[in-house]
Amino acid sequence: MLAVLAEHEVDYIVIGGFAAVAQGSPLLTNDVDIVPSPEPDNMARLSTALKAMRAKVRAEGVEPLPFDHDAVSLADARIWNLTTRYGDLDITLRPAGTQGYDDLRRDAVAVTIRGVPVRLASLGDIVRSKEAAGRDKDRRALPVLRELVSRQLRSRHPR
């Protein structure tokens, strides 16, 4: 999935549980949450990448639904819950508690995952977003994420 996004030069930041796992969280997640840059050209590249991944809309208890999309329609929805041939993918332009791509990019962490360069939302931003989302699963993740943030801060600014 990340390789396909890279192939199509999609500009995005990974947030949520997957980004947290990449930074040390032990909590499992089976989807990837991304925040794309809202630039129209980027949204068009994202639409092409989604077609290459055969993305469909996923919903509880029903078969995934094929859907038509382009740069404009993708930017219209608050969140897209999709399933692709590479796994589940959630796309949101403005995750809870954040101002979206530009806001997250400031503190994003650049890593390479299986040879693919990827930008991850910082742990602090993941905590901010989960605090704002406030769902049970977000609340459950917060203690360990907060602890990871405080360890990061201690390692950056040792006494």
Partner 1 sequence: MIGGELVREARRRAALTQHQLAERAETTQSAIARLESGRTSPSLEQVERLLRLCGFQLLVELAPYDDSDIAQAEALLREDVDARIAEMEAGLAFAAELQTAVKAAPPGRKRRRAPL
Choose between 66 and 158: whose C-beta lies nearer to partner 1: 158
Task: DSSP letter for 25, please.
Answer: -
- Least Cβ distance, residue 71 to partner 1 (angstroms): 29
Of residues 58-97, which lie at the interface with partner 1 (CB under 8 A)? none
Q: Cβ of 46: how many Cβ atoms within 10 Å?
A: 27
Nearest approach, Cβ of 138 to partner 1 (angstroms)? 12
Distance of CA 35 to the CA centre of its chain: 5
How many helices (H) does the chain have, and how many strands (E)? 7, 8
Residue indicated by tokens 């360890």? 151
DSSP structural state of residue 62: E
Name the segment binding partner 1 (CB under 8 A); options: 28-36, 67-75, 78-86, 98-106. Answer: 28-36
**Chain centroid to CA 155: how far?**
26
Write each residue from 98 to 127 as x if it is in contact with partner 1 (CB under 8 A), else as -, in one continuous string: -------------xxxx-------------
Size, binding site for partner 1 by CB under 8 A: 21
